[in-house]
Amino acid sequence: MVGIIMGSLSDRKVMQEAADILTELGVAYEMDIVSAHRTPEKMVEYAKTARDRGLKVIVAGAGGAAHLPGMVASLTTLPVIGVPVKSSNSIDGWDSVLSILQMPSGVPVATVALNGARNAGILAAQIIGAFDGAVGNRLAAYKEELKAKVEEMSRDLHQ
Ligand code: RP5
């Protein structure tokens, strides 16, 4: 249901967090390495066939001159969530953030925080959960867990 792609195997550690939360929320995903600059034909093929292959949302992560999310968004009508990855050669990650965030009008990429793959996974699940009741219910339970943790912190503070 969710396609997770990344520009390099070096992005895997960050992008695995999207996969892990999707597993927790019971949302199926596939994962692949697709590079905008090094495998452009694969990127075009991936984006153009994504809808017909049954994907509903694409989570795309890349670092540096991170063109993968934006180029994929230009080739599909599926929602694309972009994860700026702070790669080893990056200028503090600003290169990744700005190249994913600053899309032209008409070609949106829902950009999460630097290395924010977990939020990308949650957002992907929320898009699916808008139409899938079971996923929606699991998300509601997840939000309750978040709430319970903060309430516990508050209790600890006042003890
Ligand atoms: C980008 O360049 C990748 O997304 C990765 O974040 C970065 C470095 O790639 P490698 O040199 O590790 O393959 O294309």
Decide if pLDDT at 110 tops 90: yes
What distance in Å separates the CA atoms of residue 59 and residue 85, rounded to the nearest whole number?
12
Rounded to the nearest integer, the mean pLDDT of the chain is 97
ipTM of the prediction: 0.95
Does the annotation place 118 within a ligand binding site? no
6, 8, 31, 100: residue to mutate for ligand 1 pocket, most atoms within 8 A of CB: 8
What distance in Å separates the CA atoms of residue 8 and residue 38, rounded to the nearest whole number?
10
What distance in Å separates the CA atoms of residue 66 and residue 114, rounded to the nearest whole number?
12
Whole-model pTM?
0.96
Q: Burial, 88: exposed, middle or buried (Cβ in 10 Å; 0-12, 13-18, 19+)?
A: exposed
Decide if pLDDT at 120 tops 90: yes
10, 68, 114: residue to mutate for ligand 1 pocket, most atoms within 8 A of CB: 10
User: 41-67 pLDDT, tens per residue?
Assistant: 999 999 999 999 999 999 999 999 999
Cβ of 20: how many Cβ atoms within 10 Å? Answer: 13
Identify the residues whose C-beta falls under 6 Å from ligand 1.
7-8, 10-11, 35, 62-64, 85, 87
Here the CATH number for the domain that contains residue 98 is 3.40.50.1970
Domain count, the chain: 1
Region 94-104: mean pLDDT is 97
